[in-house]
Amino acid sequence: MELLEWEPKLSVFEISDKLDANFKTISEHLRRLTLAGLVAKFNMGSEVEHNLSQSGKYILKFLRTLE
């Protein structure tokens, strides 16, 4: 989620490259975060971009207060 905060509008491929993680794993995590309302998807031509939703921003801010 922090990656999407710093670099909004990333595709699954870009996220998996930046995190050096498996594409399928990232895709599944993004699917669950989207279902929870923490990540929003936007169709940009043939790509799907991901961004933090407003709820995602609030949750991330809250989690930082717990650190």
Domain count, the chain: 1
Range of the domain at 17: 2-66
pTM for this entry:
0.86
Mean pLDDT of the chain: 94
Cβ within 8 Å of residue 23, ≥6 positions away: 12, 13, 16
CATH number, domain containing residue 16:
1.10.10.10
% the chain with pLDDT above 70: 100
% the chain with pLDDT above 90: 87
Cβ within 8 Å of residue 10, ≥6 positions away: 3, 4, 18, 49, 50
Per-residue pLDDT tens over the stretch 16-46: 999 999 999 999 999 999 999 999 999 988 8
52-61: average pLDDT: 95
